[in-house]
């Protein structure tokens, strides 16, 4: 976009490129970690609402509980569980990063590096979890 100068004032240099408002997080690791933290938090919350209700069926009858838990043991839900665990592992590790950044000056200065540490830990954890879970899901 051409920057049309209205005239009068001579700005010494080109003004430091104006970023859109509330710029602290926009467009970089900080924003993505924030968006992901939010989305995963909401997803886990809604899962938890359902999960407490399905667990409550143990008070109804063994048959009722087993029927619902059977639904969690299908291949499609098995894949869903990988997504759920992926969301939790990210939210947990990134939550830890947020806490460190808030309380520890070193982490505040290195929060970008720490974001990639979170991603690396996520990958390692998911590599340990996913094959084992999928073998359980698909070998029955």
Q: Which stretch binds ligand HEM (CB under 6 A): 91-99, 105-113, 114-122, 124-132?
A: 91-99
118 neighbors 98 (Cβ within 8 angstroms) = no
CA dihedral sign, ordered 20, 24, 28, 33: negative
Q: Are 98 and 46 in contact (CB under 8 A)?
A: no
Residue 8: CB minimum distance to another protein, A:
30
Cα separation, 133 vs 42, in Å, equals 24
Find the binding residues for ligand HEM in span 19-38 (CB under 6 A).
37-38
Residue 132 contact among ligand HEM, another protein, none, beta carbon within 5 to 8 Å by kind: another protein
Cβ neighbours around 131 below 10 Å, total: 10
On whether the CB atoms of residues 89 and 61 are closer than 8 A, the answer is no
The window from 10-18, 27-35, 56-64, 104-112 that contacts another protein (CB under 8 A) reads 56-64
Residues that bind another protein (CB under 8 A): 24, 38, 41-42, 44-45, 48-49, 52-53, 55-56, 58-59, 61-63, 65-66, 69, 72-73, 78, 81, 85, 88, 92, 95-96, 98-99, 102, 129, 132-133, 136-137, 140
């Amino acid at each position: 976009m051409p920057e049309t100068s209205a005239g009068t004032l001579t700005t010494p240099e080109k003004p430091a490129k104006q970023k859109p408002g509330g710029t602290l997080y926009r467009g970089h690791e900080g924003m993505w970690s924030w968006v992901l933290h939010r989305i995963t938090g909401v997803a886990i919350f809604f899962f938890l609402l359902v999960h407490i209700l399905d667990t409550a069926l143990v008070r109804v009858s063994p048959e009722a509980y087993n029927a619902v838990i059977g639904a969690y043991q299908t291949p499609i839900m098995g894949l869903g569980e990988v997504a759920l665990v992926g969301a939790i592992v990210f939210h947990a590790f990134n939550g830890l990063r947020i806490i460190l950044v808030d309380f520890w000056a070193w982490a505040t200065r290195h929060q970008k590096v720490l974001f990639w540490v979170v991603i690396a830990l996520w990958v390692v954890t998911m590599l340990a979890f996913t094959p084992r879970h999928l073998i359980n899901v698909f070998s029955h």
